[in-house]
Amino acid sequence: MTLDDADLAAVRLTLELATVVTLLLLAVGMPIAWWLARTRSRLRHAVGAVVALPLVLPPTVIGFYLLLVLGPNGPVGKLTEALGIGLLPFSFGGLVLASVCYSLPFVVQPLQNAFEAIGPRPLEVAATLRASPWDTFWSVVVPLARPGFLSGAVLGFAHTVGEFGVVLMIGGNIPDRTRVVSVQIYDHVEALEYAQAHWLAGGMLAFSFIVLLALYTLYPQAMKGRR
């Protein structure tokens, strides 16, 4: 027995979700990480703590509050309905939003470490050469922080692929829309279809190992960035 159509659909959906989420995470995580790395604001500890919350909160807490906040009686739910988007739970968009929240620390923290490692010196040199802050960021900071971007992207992607609890709570297990691999594996196990579960679960294990092995081999410093 190998993977059937439903399994393949789940794999396709998972890769799609992880790709969209990773791109969004880089876009959202970059300014947050830059601010956290540079600011002297007293708010930085609070913001850093909020970003790190998904590391310690169980997915049941995040999923439960997302269900309430995104629901018809929640503030975000009311907003999305007023904007004509409708409600986000049980949709691909809802999963994207949930995954961005859930995987945010996995992208922000490596980026922040990379930005901090650059130190003030290259920025000062760029400033004396009359580079604008915008120019400095793109032509000095981003190239120097490349390991941070890479490990942030890889970890964000892998963590989204491995996400389960939050998706289970707000996804609704809809084929092609919210039934990702981890949920499909869970269903197989629940239905005692252990052979099919093994194909997907074993694949997931191999995928995660290879991704992390590649990251740590290519960029040993990424291991330090993960702290």
Partner 1 sequence: MRWFAGLLALMAGAAAQAGEVQVAVAANFTAPMQKIAAEFEKDTGHKAVLAFGATGKFYAQIVNGAPFEVLLAADDETPAKLEVEHQTVPGTRFTYATGKLVLWSAKDGVVDNQGQVLKTGDYAHLAIANPKTAPYGAAAIETLTKLNLLDRVQGKLVQGENIAQAYQFVSTGNAPLGFVALSQVYRDGRFTSGSGWIVPASLHGPIRQDAVILAKGSANPAAKALEGYLKSNKAKEIIRSYGYEL
Q: Is position 67 an interface residue for partner 1 (rule: CB under 8 A)?
A: yes
Nearer to partner 1, 13 or 169 (CB): 169
Cβ neighbours around 36 below 10 Å, total: 22
The minimum distance between CB 180 and partner 1, in angstroms, equals 13
Q: Residue 59, SS3?
A: helix
Residues 200 and 181: beta-carbon distance below 8 Å: yes
Enumerate residues 143-172 that contact partner 1 by CB under 8 A: 168-170, 172
Q: Which residues contact 107 (CB under 8 A, 6 or more apart)?
A: 22, 25, 26, 29, 33, 152, 153, 155, 156
The minimum distance between CB 168 and partner 1, in angstroms, equals 6
| Residue labelled with tokens 């579960």 | 197
Between CA 53 and CA 58 the distance in angstroms is: 10
Q: Is position 17 an interface residue for partner 1 (rule: CB under 8 A)?
A: no
Between CA 175 and CA 181 the distance in angstroms is: 11
String of DSSP letters for 183-219: HHHHHHHHTT-HHHHHHHHHHHHHHHHHHHHHHHHH-
Nearer to partner 1, 197 or 222 (CB): 197
Q: Is position 61 an interface residue for partner 1 (rule: CB under 8 A)?
A: no
Q: Which stretch binds partner 1 (CB under 8 A): 47-55, 67-75, 142-150, 198-206?
A: 67-75
Q: Residue 135, SS3?
A: helix
Of positions 38, 162, 187, 198, contacts partner 1 by CB under 8 A: 187
Per-position x/- string for 98-137, each x denoting binding to partner 1 as judged by CB under 8 A, each - no binding: ----------------------------------------
Q: Is position 78 an interface residue for partner 1 (rule: CB under 8 A)?
A: no
Q: Is position 189 an interface residue for partner 1 (rule: CB under 8 A)?
A: yes
Q: Which residues bind partner 1 (CB under 8 A)?
A: 67-68, 70-73, 86-87, 89-90, 168-170, 172-174, 186-187, 189-192
